[in-house]
Amino acid sequence: MRVLHLGDAGEAADLAAFLSRLVHYDRAAAVRLQARGTTLAVFGRPPSFEVLAIRTARLAKPYESGLEVTLDVTVSAGELLESVDESAATAAVPGAVTGPPWAGVLPPRGGWRQEPGLPAPDAVRAMVAAAVTEFRSRTEELAPERRTRAELDRVGREIWSRPIGDTGLPVRAAHAAQSLGFLRPVPPAAPSAAQRVPSGESPLALYSSGAWLRLRTPFGSVAVRRAGLGALDISVR
């Protein structure tokens, strides 16, 4: 069995928390794992938000299993969560599963450039809170006969598709980041989170590469694809 040796118990706890949130939104959630050197990247797609969530973890040593020096596999999020041993800072890699369509379309590894116009973290969190309040208020005001799934989806699309500040990033990306625990403030006693932010940069930053936008926080990233994918009608990952 392939075993991932995480950097410490904190890394294991953060990974378990991320997987728990994914499973909360989808009990059958799958994640794609990529390990290169001492970095593990975990990709997931919570269906309620239609974005690609990315959580990285530091490994205690470069990944290696037999002659394999890299890992790239799609597995059950629930099975991976069950295998996480926080005290030992390890996780066993479950057997591969048939990947959902999104797992085959990931953001590029390089070529990212920072984009201007993103408001301060507190302002972004306030924008998400206001959007949640507006959605609840508008849907509660609907007459019972109009409170259909189609109407709720229409209201949701209108609110969550609004851009944040002067960027092309939709509010739903920040909502997903908040719901997944990525948008919380960085406490002073969280050096591992602070280390994920390049020196001198804001803890919240927006990057672009081709058709992709990526909201980066110390706790994880949310990626959105700006261009559609034709017949699949999937515009965000």
CA dihedral 29, 35, 38, 41 (to 10 degrees): -40
Right CATH number for 3-104 from 3.10.150, 1.10.10, 3.10.620, 3.40.1350? 3.10.150
Tokens of 182: 């990525």
Which residue ranges make up each domain of the chain? 3-104, 113-232
Q: What is the pLDDT of residue 185?
A: 83
Residue 231 has a pLDDT of 32
Amino acid of residue 121: P
Structural contact between residues 228 and 236, judged by C-beta atoms closer than 8 angstroms: no
In order, the DSSP letters of 85-135 are: BTTTTEEE-PPP-PPPGGGG-PPPSS--EEES-PPPHHHHHHHHHHHHHHH
Q: Given this model, what pLDDT does residue 66 score? A: 60
Specify whether the CB–CB gap between 94 and 40 falls below 8 A.
no
Which pLDDT score is estimated for 191?
A: 54
pLDDT of residue 119: 93
One pLDDT digit (tens) per residue for the chain, 237 residues: 789 999 999 999 999 999 999 999 999 999 999 998 899 999 999 987 889 999 999 999 887 766 567 899 999 999 999 999 999 999 999 999 998 999 999 999 889 999 999 999 999 999 999 999 999 999 999 999 999 999 999 999 999 999 998 899 999 999 999 999 999 887 666 555 555 665 555 689 999 999 999 999 999 999 999 854 333 333 333
